Amino acid sequence: VLLRPPGEEEFEPIVRSILERRNMVVSEFSLRYLLRRLPRRALSIEEISAKISALSFAESRPAGLGVIRDVLRDTKHSK
């Protein structure tokens, strides 16, 4: 069975759900920033949200734009 990437109308609710399961609250601005930059693969979404959660917790920083930028930058450089 091949799964297709989520469509635009499905993507935001999926990302919101993943963030909520990790008890992360992000501003609408940060969510929009993240949505524009996330790969459309389910595993990537899970992996990046886990990294956001871990960095936020490790550094006692809110899961806001700064943490999101740091994770996306580090993820981009590690590939």
Could you tell me the mean pLDDT of each successive run of 10 residues in the chain, 79 residues long?
A: 80 93 94 92 87 96 95 79
Give this prediction's pTM: 0.82
Domain coordinates in residue numbering, the chain = 14-77
Supply the pLDDT for residue 21: 94
User: Which CATH code fits 14-77?
Assistant: 1.10.8
Query: Could you give the 3-state DSSP secondary structure of residue 75?
Result: helix
* Euclidean distance between CA atoms 40 and 32, whole angstroms: 14
